[in-house]
Amino acid sequence: MENYPTQELLALRFLQYEVEGRLAYITLNRPAKRNALSADVVTELKQAFETAEADDDVKVIILRASGDVFCAGADIKYLQELQANTYQENLADSTHLMQLFHQINTLKKVVIGQVQGHALAGGCGLAALCDFTFAVPEAKFGFTEVKIGFLPAIVSVFLVRRLGETRAKQLLLSGDIFTAQQALDYGLITFLVEQDELTEAVRDYALRLVRENSANSMEMTKELLAHLPALSLEEGLRYAAQRNADARATDDYRRGIAAFLNKEKIDW
């Protein structure tokens, strides 16, 4: 374990970071503040994701939270302080959050969200941006920014692409809070799991990805999916064909095909 970045080396105040069995755990750790987001929290999240991405011993990243709430969105005190900012200062702060969301969306490694409680506003955005999201049935979700005169600007870019304009309008314009079952039905999350089974279910799923899937193939697939929405049908098909050809030149492809033909179990 001495080769892994430690909590102290990362100098984290609002998160916990640990690595175990090729899994990196990034834990929001402000339970008294309902794990609310601020510029400092966003900075630490960016740092933790960058660290996990650069660690060759990490294959899957799990984003989770301590306490009863996954993330209640932006810290209200912090939002209050932003009122004194200039336009340029507010733009810099918004860009800071945009960079985090883009980082998660384009990260080379798979990110699994472990949502043990309510995920609202920016917290709902965090949960939705993960590649897979497990949530408990009791969790509530919602993009509630319009209720306080704000707007869910950055997450809207991702939601329109993932859910379509009609569903995105419903969720973002209403500001309604909805159940975990509705979040599952909308395609916002991936799995519903009982509270006492959540940690084990996430870990088992992550370890299955570690054991059964090529890291290079998952990285290339994530890259493919991140690029496709910006391309026309013809451009997307050409890009997909190029990536297909690129994959055939990789060591993982050769190893995988050889193992399949020889009926051998491959250790990824």
Q: Measured between alpha carbons, how far is 140 from 68 in angstroms, rounded to an integer?
A: 12
| Share of the chain residues as helix, strand and coil, in percent rounded to the nearest 5 | 55, 15, 30
CA nearest to 52, candidates 18, 83, 97, 91: 18
Give the pairing of strands 177-179 and 140-142.
antiparallel
Q: What six digits make up the tokens of 111?
A: 């990110």
Contacts of 259 (CB under 8 A, 6+ apart): 265, 266
Active site residue 223: no
Give the SS3 label for residue 95: helix
Nearest to 129 by CA among 178, 67, 63: 63
Beta carbons of 139 and 118 less than 8 angstroms apart: yes
DSSP secondary structure, 221-268, as one string? HHHHHHHGGGS-HHHHHHHHHHHHHHHHTSHHHHHHHHHHHTT-----
Looking at 145, 165, 234, 235, which residue is catalytic? 145
Q: Which two tokens stand for residue 82?
A: 């932003």
Quote the tokens at residue 234. 């013809």
Catalytic sites, residue numbers = 145
